Amino acid sequence: MKFLIWLLIGYIVFRIVRGKKELPSPEATKGEETFRDPVCGVYVTADDAVVGTLEGERIHFCSHECLEKFRENLEHKA
């Protein structure tokens, strides 16, 4: 029975160590600029973003769909 308890403790420790490793470390995300999609509110990195321009300002979207929605909204407002 003692062996089983040690096995269980070992398993729990293993899970904790593994779980910590899976968390994104601040170093991994450091230096990578993120932009907020104004349509759906998702944060995207410059690499993943679809960039649109509005009055010379660069706006980052998560997808072309959001870019299109943003453009549609502008047209409705105008």
**Which spans of this chain sit near Zn ion (rule: CB under 5 A)?**
37, 39-40, 42, 62, 66
In whole angstroms, the minimum distance from the beta carbon of 65 to Zn ion comes to 7
Nearer to Zn ion, 15 or 64 (CB): 64
In DSSP notation, the chain reads -HHHHHHHHHHHHHHHHHHHHHSPPHHHHTT--EEE-TTT--EEETTTPEEEEETTEEEEESSHHHHHHHHHHHHHH-
Nearer to Zn ion, 42 or 48 (CB): 42
In whole angstroms, the minimum distance from the beta carbon of 50 to Zn ion comes to 9
Nearer to Zn ion, 15 or 71 (CB): 71
